[in-house]
Structure 1
């Protein structure tokens, strides 16, 4: 049985915040807000900020919309230098990654469809990275696979 979807209204900078390495994530809408249909997160990446390795999702699409700065987005076999206003849709099963290789901070929106409990992956990742050391590889891959994220070697 689905729960009714209720309004979510957030001002600039509002939402639940999380630090992942040296990047900041703000949850704008999570699966529990949307009956699992979608999740929308805002991520701020400093130059060289913490970014994911190439990976794919088997059961969800992921979308990126660059708000500020420039974000390098790998999607399939192409690399996009996404400036403010750039949008990339990553179909399920498509290898992808993103990073800020520039000299200015960047901000992007990340949407997942369906969302499930995608925020739990980000919370787990923040925990693995909290001491500033590279995470245990086995624990990282286990976390990824628990939340529909499969590492790929490109």
Structure 2
């Protein structure tokens, strides 16, 4: 028997924060909070900020909701120039990536279903990118694969 999910109430800017390159992630809800059902993160992306390589997830859906600024989201062969209020659902096994190519910061909500331990990927990424270092490609791919993220070769 699993314990019930407990309520979480966070104000603006609240939640555990993590820096990945020059982007900042705030964990609003992680998999452990929802028995692995979902995770919800806020991503503040600086212009030209850290962007993932084109990739797929085999075990989860990923959703993007643009809060502020403009975020370019690629899903499959589509390029979406997401303005505030834009939403994109990325089904499993669908190549996708996102980036802030504008001149102002952008804020994006990212949800993963199921959530499992998705935050651990971002913690590992922050470690690989700390002090402005460029990550070793093999280490990055190994981290991605550990957390259901498979790079797509173009």
> Under a length normalisation based on structure 2, what TM-score does the superposition of the two structures give?
0.98
Matches within 5 A, 1:65-104: 65-104=65-104
Q: By how many angstroms is 1:136 displaced?
A: 0.5
Over residues 106-150 of structure 1, what are the superposed CA-to-partner deviations in whole Å (9 max), with x where a residue is unaligned? 001000000000000000000000021210001000000000000
The 4+ residue runs of structure 1 with deviation greater than 6 A are: none
Q: CA RMSD in A?
A: 0.7
Tell me the equivalent position of 1:7: 7
Residues 2-50 of structure 1, C-alpha deviation per residue, up to 9 Å, x if partnerless? 2321001000000000000000000000001101000000000010001
Counterparts of 1:129-144 in structure 2 under 5 Å?
129-144=129-144
What runs of 5+ residues in structure 1 fail to find an aligned partner?
none
Structure 1 residue matching 2:19: 3-state secondary structure:
strand
CA distance in 2, matches of 1:28, 1:93: 25
Within 1, Cα distance between the matches of 2:6 and 2:69? Answer: 32
TM-score (norm 1): 0.98
Structure 2, gaps ≥5 residues long: none
The residue that corresponds to 2:48 in the other structure is 48
Three-state SS of the structure 2 residue aligned to 1:42 is strand
